[in-house]
Amino acid sequence: MEEMNHEVLLTCAVTGGGDTAGKSDKVPVTPKQIAAAAIEAAKAGASIVHCHVRDPETGQNAFKTELFAEVVERIRESETDIVINLTGGNGGAIVVDDNKPYEWQEGSDLTTPEGRVAHAVKLQPEICSLDTGSINFSDNTVYLGHASALREMARRMQAAGVKPEIEVFDVGPIMLARQLIADGVIDSPPLFQFCMGIGTNAPADTEVLLAMRKIIPQDAIWSAFGISRWQMPMVAKAVLLGGNCRVGLEDNLYLERGVLASNGQLVEKARRIIESLGARVLSPEEARKKLKLKKHTR
């Protein structure tokens, strides 16, 4: 693979589903705020925005198509042309109590493969994330990204003209993704997002990043992000190693030590890093061409 990437896709993940709304007043919560954050990121130079939604009353992660619909509508009605990437990471969590192994606990949201991508099928964003492999998020919370569910989710997204962003938190999930690609439910070029430094999953380490890069398909396009203090260093690492980048308040709340950031500020900082390396950030339209996306406007 060529080392440095000179034409970079820059994604901004504007809010996430973590318990961060109480830690920074800059984390968007309502659909109006989330859409405004996406538009801010677009104006700052992002190619793509990745959006979760939250309960407007509590600020906690939500999984309601009507909330996604408002976010998508507001972005599409704006003067920006940003590529929309919705999360597909809901509907797979199981919270366990080791003393009650047959009872899922409060916080579990496991649903059918159809239910997990119903919002993407209905709203038709250009991209929707697809988390492969089972992921440990805490002592008692596991996300199930097993092959049978993923195959059906990918098939439904493919039929709707929505490109999966294959989120991988370790090496094994890449092998699972390769099987889905071989099954024909993910079109070329496959898009991988390496999620680094999260819990006990893949660390934000260069050697691990190289190992993950080594086993993706030859035609794959990849991006990587690190959380917290690893966010901006990973921007530089990814570009230098031939990849693309993701920043945003889903993964990191700070512009620098002690200074809370907005999504636009994080995009601007990442863009400066990219440009200082001699690369440039692709426009949304250039991103569509590179990823072979189907633009949806409804």
C-alpha–C-alpha distance, residues 15 and 263, integer Å: 9
C-alpha 294, offset from chain centre: 18
Name the residue type at position 41. A
User: In degrees, to the nearest 5, what angle opens at C-alpha 268 toward C-alphas 264 and 271?
Assistant: 135
Contact 205, 171 (CB under 8 A): no
C-alpha–C-alpha distance, residues 219 and 96, integer Å: 39
What would the pLDDT profile of 42-68 be if each residue is shown by its tens digit?
999 999 999 999 999 999 999 999 999
Per-residue model confidence (pLDDT) at position 238:
98
Query: How large is the average pLDDT for residues 166-173?
Result: 96
What would the pLDDT profile of 242-275 be if each residue is shown by its tens digit?
999 999 999 999 999 999 999 999 999 999 999 9
If we measure between CA atoms, which residue out of 275, 282, 274, 247 comes closest to residue 263?
A: 247
H or E element at residue 129: strand 127-131
The one-character DSSP state at 166 is E
Per-residue model confidence (pLDDT) at position 296:
64
The structural domains of the chain, ordered by start, are 7-291 (3.20.20.70)
Name the residue type at position 199. G
Strand pairing of 244-247 and 10-13? parallel
Q: What pTM value is reported for the model? A: 0.96
Q: For residue 298, name the pLDDT band (cuts at 50, 70, 90).
A: low
Say whether pLDDT at 1 is over 70.
no
